[in-house]
Amino acid sequence: MRGRLRDLTMNRDRTQNITVTVSADFRESFDRLKDKDLDIEIKVHREKRSRNANAYFHVLVNKIAQELNEADEAVKTRLVIDYGVVAKDEDGLTIGFKLPATVDVSKIYPYTRLFDRRTEGGKLFNCYLVLKHTSDMDTKEMARLIDGAIEEAKELGIETDTPETLARYREEWARYDRQHPTD
């Protein structure tokens, strides 16, 4: 849910009251949660990546795939693994898992990075970090992924766009980030 901090007051017992304005109807949730202990996390809102950014990324993926004579999905997967963002749970903990080394991880989840191999009980296991799907990335994360794709395309001699267009994209992303600062 999206909202804004509006007020902070101190009580005599040194507890604090935070007033938050929310953009959605919260009445039903408020009635259900009132007077219960809650886990609360407040963080800066980040917009999801734009459709334009996603479309541009897929154009780059297609150009790279054609140049390398590979499938688009294979190139996309490699780029997300190389330049994407490790997924975190609601507590900010890194998401990962381990599988027997004989299991093909790509059949379970496409965006994983092998970070360790362990032997337990005489069996070999591969340990993986989970990376976010592009649809779950925010603007900053998507910009990093696109920058990686641009660099790979350039190394292959692929026209990525005019310098003016790229400068405009970066300025739009930077302007957005200035208007929506993060920690």
Residue 122 has pLDDT above 80, yes or no: yes
Residue 76 has pLDDT above 90, yes or no: yes
Provide the pLDDT confidence category of residue 145 given band limits of 50, 70 and 90: very high
Q: State pLDDT tens for residues 152-175.
A: 999 999 988 755 676 777 777 777
Q: What residues does each domain of the chain span?
A: 86-131
Residue 90 has pLDDT above 90, yes or no: no
C-alpha span between 67 and 70 (Å, rounded): 8
- Confirm whether pTM is higher than 0.75: no
Comparing CA positions, the residue from 69, 89, 65 lying closest to residue 77 is: 65
Which tokens is 55 given?
Answer: 């479309």
C-alpha span between 157 and 70 (Å, rounded): 16
